[in-house]
Amino acid sequence: MKRRALAGALAAAVAGWPVTASTGKPQLLEFWASWCGVCRAMEPTMAALKERWGKQVDIRIVDVDEPENAALVRRYKIFGTATFVLLDGRGKEAYRGSGQIPQTVFESEFKKVL
């Protein structure tokens, strides 16, 4: 799945809904920008995670260039794109990473919060 399609499909889930809400389900937030090369390089990984883990983990893309996401960027102290924040089912930060991260790292972190 292309990044824009994935971003579009997930954007509605982020907009107007507090990402830190206690859903009982972990959430992976990807702080992303269309101009970010690493973000684009992560497209296959994110698509694979969504395909394999999407029913157990909410995978959300947060476009850092959208003004409505500014509060989330500040809240999670995001200073660069391709930053990933995993929240447990209570909304507590369980993992943070940035850059090009292997799928196996995310899967290991998902297992810790499930």
Catalytic residue list: 36, 39
Contacts (Cβ under 8 Å, ≥6 apart) of 71: none
- The 3-state DSSP class for residue 82 equals coil
Q: In what order do the strands lie in the sheet with 27-32?
A: 58-63, 27-32, 83-87, 93-98
